[in-house]
Each structure stands twice: as structure tokens, then as C-alpha cells.
Amino acid sequence: MRIVRFPDGTKVRAASLRERREHDSWRDFGLYLDSSWRPSWPSALIAWKNFGLPESPLHAVDQICTAFKRAQAGQHIEVGCKEGLGRTGTVLACMAVLARIPAEKAVSWVREHYHRHAVKTPDQKSWVHWFAQQIGSSSGLAQGK
């Protein structure tokens, strides 16, 4: 588990499934990218196969933005997939975009500040750019409104 602090001060905890804690007083909400998490706490699940992309991309955009807004408001948010690298790294890169890091730098920022192997596939890296286009065309999302 690792806390990622974005340049705007927002903090999110990233975790792998092996780090799963059933009873965790720190966590307010979890955003999970693998159904194996089976959370019994407040959470959202994005259907997203390992090494793939979200099954419902627009739903994923909404869930990522909502989780980031919760983190900006001071809630303790946890993001996790199976290994905590590919899908989790992709979500962190999307959150970096929400924290005003340019999309073309978001993946490298996450690799520098979270894990050097974050965002596993070229498709996941491209999805971060697609995400940035989506929030850019949605009124207020990029500004956290």
C-alpha cells in the first residue's frame, strides 16, 4: 500500500489485492478494478479485465472523477486492482490529469511518484489520453466542479 500525493495536495492510497484489509479504519471509500476485492465497505467497482481497459469506459470516467472529488474533499480513498500496477496505475494517471498534470506527462508522473511499472500496456497509456479528452469535453469535470 502506498499513499500517492498529487501536486494539488489530494491524496489517494493505492493497493494490491494481497494488501486487502477487511477492517480498515483509515479508508472511507474504495474504488476497485477487480471483483476479487469483494469489499464489505463503501466502494465502487469498475469492470476492468487484467491488462485490459474498462468494459464501460464512460462509467469508469464517472467513477474515477467521483472518487477523486471525494479525495479532494478530504475523504480517505483507496484504489486497487489485483497487483496494484496496471489498472491501478492507469486510474492514478487519470487522477493525475484531474490534478492538472498534462495527459502526456501523467503516466510518467505516476511511474515516478508511485511505481516504475505502473500502467502496464500501451492501450492503458492511450486510455489516459482518452480520459483526458473526455473530461476536457465535460463541463466542469477537469476543474473538479
State the pLDDT at residue 140: 42
* Phi, psi of 121, deg, nearest 5: -120, 155
Please check the confidence at residue 144 and state whether its pLDDT lies above 90.
no
Please check the confidence at residue 142 and state whether its pLDDT lies above 60.
no
Please check the confidence at residue 143 and state whether its pLDDT lies above 80.
no
SS3 2: strand
Q: Which of 26-30, 106-110, 118-122, 136-140 has the lowest mean pLDDT?
A: 136-140
Mean pLDDT of the chain, nearest integer? 94
State the pLDDT at residue 98: 98
| pLDDT tens-digit map of 14-69 | 999 999 999 999 999 999 999 999 999 999 999 999 999 999 999 999 999 999 99
82, 110, 120, 133 from 136: Cα distances, Å: 29, 20, 24, 5
pLDDT confidence tier of residue 145, bands split at 50, 70 and 90: very low
Domain spanning 2-136: CATH 3.90.190.10? yes
Domain boundaries, the chain: 2-136
